Structure 1
Amino acid sequence: MSFSGRLSSSDLQSFAFSRRELLGKFVAVAVATAAVKRSAESSATKKYPLPEFNVGDLVAYDWEPDDDDAPEFATDFGEILGMRWVPEPDGHCLAANTWVYYIRWTHSTCPDILPEPCYDGEPTYSSDLRLVSRA
C-alpha cells in the first residue's frame, strides 16, 4: 500500500494545509530578507559618498620629476582597476574617509619611466588624479 493510500481524507487535508503553511512561511522569510537587504543597501549609500572615478575610467597623474634631465612636469596615464573606501588611516593610506584608486599605468610623458603598462599596487588618492575619459 502506498503512503497516500494509508492516509485518511482528514490526514490528507492536514497534510495539504501544512504545505500551504510552509509556502506562507517561505514567502514571509523571503520578504523579510529582501527588506533587510534593501535597508542595508540604502544605509551603505548613506555611509559612503559616491566615488569620483569608476572602474575603467582613464585618468592622469601630474607630477614633477627629480631628475635634471627630465622635463619640468610629467604626466602618467592609466586606467582605474579598482577602488577602496578608507574609513581611517591604515598602513597603506594616511588619509581617512576617502576613496583610493588602484591604477594600471599605461604610459607617461616622461621618457623611459613606463616602458610598458604596469600595475604597482599602490593606492592613489582622487585629489592626485584627473579624469581623461569615462569608460
Structure 2
Amino acid sequence: MADRTSSSITIKAGKAEIMAVIADLESYPDWASGIREFTVQATGGDGRAQRARLTFDGGPFSDTVGLAYTWEGDDRVVWELVEKGNVVTGLHGTYALAEAGDGTEVTYELAVDVRVPMIGMVKRKGEKRIIDSALKGLKRHVER
C-alpha cells in the first residue's frame, strides 16, 4: 500500500473546531457522501474514537470495515484497517491540519486496497473522488 492519494483544502475555522468535526465519527453520514454508518466501538481518555466500524456505499462497492485511530491532538489523525470487509482489504488514511492565514489547511491522504483487481490509475482516481468529496463536505459542514 505504498501508493497514496492526497488533496488539501482551506477551511475558514480553527484547527480545534475542524478536528472536533472530524472526531465526531458518528455524524459523518450527515456531511460525508457515501458514508452510511459509523459506530464507535472504543474511545480513548480524550473521548475520541480508538476503534470504529464504518459502513460505506462507494458507488459500485459497499462494505463494512473496522478501523483503528491514532490522534495527535488537533494536528493529525491516522486510521488503519483492522477488520477487512468483503471488498476492502487494506486502508490507511490521515487528516493533517495546519494553520493557514485566516483558516486551516486540511490535507486528506488515503490509500485503499480492494479484493477486485484494479489498475493503479483507476484506484487512484477512485481515492481522489473520495478525498475531494470528503474535503468539500467537511468544508461545507464546518463553515455553515
**Smaller-chain TM-score range?**
under 0.3
Structure index of larger Rg: 1
Per the normalisation by structure 2, the TM-score is: 0.25
Where is the strand percentage greater, Structure 1 or Structure 2? 2
Per the normalisation by structure 1, the TM-score is: 0.27
